[in-house]
Amino acid sequence: MGTKISYTDAFAELQQIVVDLENSEIGIDALDAKVKRASILLKVCKEKLYKTEQNVLETLKDLEIE
């Protein structure tokens, strides 16, 4: 993943992939590529959510000390 993508952009792209799948707008030839892209996007979202959670927990912990 050379370029960085925001959580918002990754989530929006995932939503579009789901819509395309639901509407049968993805041909069988493109399905494999879309599934691989969705996997990458899910990983990006998961990592960003985890990092945000850790930052919030760390901030809360710092506030308890003061």
Instruction: Give the domain ranges of the chain.
Output: 7-65
The residue-averaged pLDDT of 30-59 equals 94
Q: Structure pTM?
A: 0.78
Task: Return the SS3 of 60.
Answer: helix
- Residue 47 CA to residue 52 CA, distance in Å, equals 9
CA dihedral of residues 17, 18, 20, 24 (deg, nearest 10): 130
Q: Which residue has the higher pLDDT, 2 or 64?
A: 64
Per-residue model confidence as pLDDT tens digits over 37-51: 999 999 999 999 999
